[in-house]
Amino acid sequence: MEHLWAPWRLKYVTGAGGISEGCIFCAGTDPSRDDLVLVRASVSYVILNLYPYNNGHLMVVPKRHVAALAGTTADEQAELMRLTRHAEIALTEAYAPQGINIGINLGRPAGAGVLDHLHVHLVPRWNGDTNFMTVVGNVRVLPEELSATAAKLRPIFERLDRDNV
Ligand SMILES: [Zn+2]
């Protein structure tokens, strides 16, 4: 389980600019990340992890550069939870996982790689995926392209929003 919360792998958005210089989650608000972004809501967004732990690994992120839940507004809290709920529903529908990890890492000892921009991870889980990980160490071979993941999940998020689920 050590590798599960390893968002230091998320050093993938570079030079995209943003609200706080060098912050990958501020950079995620840039239209150049549209290939990875599944949903842009009013104060937050949903983005795929470029180096997913499992197929469907995504993150729900406030647009504002805020470090912890303590600093969020009521609007942000409501939308983050709404999108997290939609993400749970979308992942369940698209991948039928046997479990889902939903979590926030605050601070380096807790596993956070991006220390000052809050983000909620959702990682679909299947029986045996940790055993596989133990065998292969840090190397993860994922059968699905991110573009395919995005194509699968985007319409579900759109439908959930449209139907006000
Ligand atoms: Zn930021």
CA of 118 to the centre of ligand 1 (A): 8
Single-letter residue type at 60: V
pLDDT in tens, 53-87: 888 999 999 999 999 999 999 999 999 999 999 99
Give CA 59 to chain center in angstroms. 1
Q: How far apart are CA 85 and CA 122, in angstroms?
A: 10
Q: Catalytic site residue 86?
A: no
CA of 136 to the centre of ligand 1 (A): 32
| pLDDT score of 138 | 55
Q: What is the largest CA-CA distance in the chain?
A: 43
In this prediction the pTM is 0.81
- Asked if 118 contacts 62 with a C-beta cutoff of 8 angstroms, the reply is yes
Single-letter residue type at 94: A
Best mean pLDDT range from 52-61, 87-96, 104-113, 119-128: 87-96
CA of 76 to the centre of ligand 1 (A): 14
- Asked if 76 contacts 42 with a C-beta cutoff of 8 angstroms, the reply is no
Which residues, in sequence order, are bridge partners of residue 62? 44
